[in-house]
Amino acid sequence: MQWKNNKTHYGFIAVILHWLVALSVFGLFGLGLWMTQLDYYNSWYKQGPWLHKSTGILLFFVVLVRLFWRWLSPPPAALLSHKTMEIRLAHFTHSLLYLLLLAIMLSGYLISTADGRSIEVFGWFSIPASITSIPEQEEQAGWIHLMLASLLIGLALLHATAALKHHFIDRDRTFKRILGK
Ligand code: HEM
């Protein structure tokens, strides 16, 4: 399997980045819902947000690398069997997935830094606060973060359903391509 994408196949780097982001998104969503229900005496009360924030920041850099790699090594062309409408819808969905990922990370950053504190990433480095003056910043950004994350999960499920439809019903190579085959 080649490293870079070509006109017909996704390369190793794009495949790894796709699945790394997909797994992290579902994991972070589950962790986010769970950790916000914990009471103060639970041992995960502080550890949960620490893990969620640290992973979220690292994921931000992974998404930047992914976008840079996409620019350097453009994805394969759509399969000839795909209809124009289908191709347009897929492009729109993919752009929206990237946009939602970035907007969720920005809103997460605004929640965590609303009180002026920086974000410690696994104790390796920290991301300083910058914007702290939005009225009720923590609550507003928190609401937006949850709404956008729910939208992302809904869209990702729809996207996954489309991929499985191509695999099991149309029996084309769409799903196999993102597995690196
Ligand atoms: C949160 C989870 C996910 C996100 C954010 C995501 C995002 C994306 C994006 C942005 C692309 C376009 C890649 C590019 O050309 O730049 C893509 C491609 C693809 N994804 Fe996902 N994905 C997720 C989960 C899944 C799952 C669970 C499946 C399958 C079960 C899947 C199947 C595919 C397939 C088959 C393609 C290639 C589509 C094509 O070649 O036209 N994705 N994904």
Q: What does the domain layout of the chain look like in residue ranges?
A: 12-178
Task: Tell me which residue has its CA closest to atom 35 in ligand 1.
Answer: 175
Question: pTM of this prediction?
Answer: 0.95
Task: Report whether pLDDT(121) > 90.
Answer: yes
Out of 159, 161, 165, 166, mutate this one to test ligand 1's pocket (max ligand atoms within 8 Å of CB): namely 159
What average pLDDT is seen over the chain? 97
- What is the C-alpha separation between 49 and 155, in angstroms, rounded? 24
Amino acid occupying residue 109: Y
The helix-helix angle for 12-35 and 137-168 (nearest 10°) equals 130
Task: Give the model confidence (pLDDT) of 24-77 as tens digits.
Answer: 999 999 999 999 999 999 999 999 999 999 999 999 999 999 999 999 999 999
CB under 6 Å to ligand 1: residues? 18, 21-22, 25, 70, 75, 90, 94, 97-98, 156, 159-160, 163-164, 174-175, 177-178
18 CA distance to ligand 1 centroid (A)?
6
pLDDT at 24: 98
Q: What whole-number percentage of the chain has pLDDT above 70?
A: 100
Burial of 103 (0-12, 13-18, 19+ CB in 10 A): middle
Task: Give the model confidence (pLDDT) of 86-98 as tens digits.
Answer: 999 999 999 999 9
Out of 72, 178, 179, 181, mutate this one to test ligand 1's pocket (max ligand atoms within 8 Å of CB): namely 178
CATH number given to 12-178: 1.20.950
